[in-house]
């Protein structure tokens, strides 16, 4: 591939490219396979017809020579030596008169295949010189068919390889302008998040200091809003770094980390009069701490965001499964299928960018964590994380 097509692909782009190649190659291979099969069938039929015509013509020529010999008062006819065929002459009693002794002839058929050889029977001699049957045998017909099959498979394989390379090349060409646009957006987000870092830190420190000096409801709301902005900031920076940094996994106590994240979200939950119900036990899993925090934070923040006031959020660990359940508005089947799509928001007026559950999906995929959603409208949503 040319230098201009060397792209560093994200997981989404890589999956899109793979899906495009599979669809393109799959449909093309299916079409080529059908065409190859039809060509093979047609060539085999034409080859068989041509061979039968030649055998019939050869038998007819021998019949004519036998008739000529009989008319010349010859008492017998000597078959010519032919390398292409084995030939035998039989009388009415099916006894061999001349030629090769061909065993097991089926005199009831005009043409048939047996043990990879092809037989053609003719009565062109019309009984002259006592010849009732002229039998022509073509050896190795199955070898010819096998050679034809090999040729078709070879050309089919070459076509598949060519189409696969073409699909890859086309996919990279199509992705190039998309990649350039994404790079532009990523640069903008990277610059924006970098510029936000300092004022956001200053804002949160100032709010914490003011809350200690003169706590008030207004400051509490500002503090909670600052935390929500900080969470969005952390999500954006995590997304930007996800495909650019190597994983540095460590042993994480899921019980301790969940308790830490619940403490972090408790002020926001209390603001909505929500209560956390915990049923946790310790288990260790190797993963990146930041990825684990983003995984839990996005599910817990959604549970707070979409829950009803004066309700509960249940967080439990069963074996190696983490369950997070709310008593909120829930989702229908269509929403459940779309919920992990980037920029997808169940309710547009709830705020956010729709990247939280996309991060959850990427983290679970990265660590082979199986995620399940069980949700019913107006009842609530249960997220189950099954750690390997």
CB 361 within 8 A of CB 342: no
Q: Structural domain tally of the chain? A: 2
Question: Does residue 193 lie in a domain region?
Answer: yes
Q: Average pLDDT, whole number, for the chain? A: 82
For strand 86-90 and strand 96-99, is the pairing parallel, antiparallel, or unpaired?
A: antiparallel
pLDDT in tens, 128-146: 888 899 999 888 777 777 8
Question: Does residue 308 lie in a domain region?
Answer: yes
Last residue of a domain, one of 101, 122, 157: 157
* Domain co-membership, 328 together with 207: yes
* Domain co-membership, 47 together with 107: yes
Q: What is the mean pLDDT of residues 324-332?
A: 90
Q: Looking at residue 2, what is its pLDDT?
A: 42
Question: Does residue 25 lie in a domain region?
Answer: yes
Q: Looking at residue 348, what is its pLDDT?
A: 53
pLDDT in tens, 8-52: 666 666 777 788 788 888 888 888 888 888 888 888 888 888 888
> Residue 202: CA atoms inside 13 Å, Cβ hemisphere, count?
5
* Domain co-membership, 39 together with 77: yes
Question: Does residue 6 lie in a domain region?
Answer: no
More confident residue, 331 or 314: 314
Q: How confident is the model at residue 195 (pLDDT cuts 50, 70, 90)?
A: low
Q: What are phi and psi of 134, to 5 degrees?
A: -110, 120
* Domain co-membership, 127 together with 194: no
Least confident of 6-20, 27-41, 91-105, 314-328: 6-20
Q: Looking at residue 99, what is its pLDDT?
A: 86
The torsion region of residue 59 among left (phi > 0), alpha (psi -120 to 50) and beta comes to alpha
* Domain co-membership, 378 together with 317: yes
Cα(190)–Cα(182) distance, rounded to whole angstroms? 12
Q: How confident is the model at residue 318 (pLDDT cuts 50, 70, 90)?
A: very high
4 pLDDT above the threshold of 50: no
Question: Does residue 172 lie in a domain region?
Answer: no
Last residue of a domain, one of 125, 157, 189: 157
Cα(313)–Cα(264) distance, rounded to whole angstroms? 14
Question: Does residue 259 lie in a domain region?
Answer: yes
Q: Looking at residue 285, what is its pLDDT?
A: 94
Q: What is the mean pLDDT of residues 172-184?
A: 74
* Domain co-membership, 219 together with 116: no
* Domain co-membership, 293 together with 374: yes
pLDDT in tens, 113-133: 888 888 999 999 888 888 899
The tokens describing 283, both together, are: 């288990």
Q: Looking at residue 344, what is its pLDDT?
A: 63
* Domain co-membership, 41 together with 93: yes
Q: What percent of the chain has pLDDT over 90?
A: 22
How crowded is residue 261: how many other Cβ atoms within 10 Å of its Cβ?
Answer: 19
314 pLDDT above the threshold of 90: yes
- What CATH number has the domain bearing residue 328? 3.30.565.10
Q: How confident is the model at residue 292 (pLDDT cuts 50, 70, 90)?
A: very high
Least confident of 82-91, 136-145, 288-297, 298-307: 136-145
Q: Looking at residue 287, what is its pLDDT?
A: 93
Last residue of a domain, one of 88, 123, 157: 157
Q: How confident is the model at residue 333 (pLDDT cuts 50, 70, 90)?
A: confident
pTM recorded for the entire structure: 0.52
* Domain co-membership, 117 together with 258: no
Cα(365)–Cα(67) distance, rounded to whole angstroms? 84
Non-local (6+) Cβ contacts of 325 within 8 A are 303, 313, 314, 315, 380, 381, 382, 383
* Domain co-membership, 153 together with 64: yes
Cα(175)–Cα(169) distance, rounded to whole angstroms? 10
Question: Does residue 170 lie in a domain region?
Answer: no
1 pLDDT above the threshold of 50: no
Q: What is the mean pLDDT of residues 323-343?
A: 84
* Domain co-membership, 189 together with 142: no
* Domain co-membership, 249 together with 372: yes
Q: Which domain holds residue 17?
A: 11-157
Question: Does residue 372 lie in a domain region?
Answer: yes
pLDDT in tens, 237-269: 777 677 666 678 899 999 999 999 999 889 888
């Amino acid at each position: 591939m040319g230098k201009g097509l060397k792209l560093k692909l994200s997981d989404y782009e890589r999956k899109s490219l793979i899906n495009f190649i599979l669809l393109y190659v799959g449909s093309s291979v299916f079409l080529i396979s059908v065409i190859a099969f039809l060509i093979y069938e047609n060539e085999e039929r034409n080859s068989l017809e041509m061979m039968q015509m030649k055998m019939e013509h050869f038998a007819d020529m021998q019949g004519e020579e036998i008739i000529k010999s009989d008319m010349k008062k010859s008492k017998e006819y000597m078959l010519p030596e032919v390398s292409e065929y084995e030939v035998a002459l039989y009388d009415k009693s099916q006894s061999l008169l001349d030629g090769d002794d061909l065993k097991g002839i089926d005199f009831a058929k005009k043409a048939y295949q047996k043990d990879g050889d092809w037989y053609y029977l003719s009565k062109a001699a019309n009984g002259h010189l006592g010849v009732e049957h002229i039998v022509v045998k073509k050896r190795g017909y199955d070898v010819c068919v096998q050679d034809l099959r090999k040729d078709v498979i070879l050309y089919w394989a070459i076509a598949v390889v060519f189409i696969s390379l073409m699909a890859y090349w086309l996919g990279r060409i199509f992705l190039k302008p998309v990649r350039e646009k994404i790079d532009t957006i990523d640069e903008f987000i990277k610059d924006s998040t970098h510029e936000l870092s300092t004022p956001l830190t200053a804002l949160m420190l100032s709010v914490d200091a003011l809350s200690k000096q003169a706590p008030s409801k207004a400051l509490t709301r500002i503090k909670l809003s600052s935390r929500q902005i900080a969470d969005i900031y952390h999500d954006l920076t995590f997304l930007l770094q996800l495909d650019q940094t190597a994983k540095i996994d460590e042993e994480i106590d899921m019980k301790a980390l969940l308790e830490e994240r619940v403490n972090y979200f408790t002020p926001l939950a209390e603001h909505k009069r929500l209560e956390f119900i915990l049923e946790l036990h310790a288990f260790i899993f190797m993963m990146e701490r930041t990825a684990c925090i983003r995984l839990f934070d996005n599910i817990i923040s959604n549970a707070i965001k979409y829950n009803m006031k004066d309700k509960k959020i249940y967080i439990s660990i069963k074996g190696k499964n983490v369950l997070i359940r709310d008593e909120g508005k829930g989702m229908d089947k269509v929403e459940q299928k779309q919920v992990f799509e980037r920029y997808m928001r169940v309710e547009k007026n709830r705020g956010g960018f729709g990247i939280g559950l996309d991060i959850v999906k990427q983290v679970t995929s990265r660590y082979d964590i199986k995620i399940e959603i069980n949700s019913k409208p107006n009842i609530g949503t249960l997220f189950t994380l099954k750690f390997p």
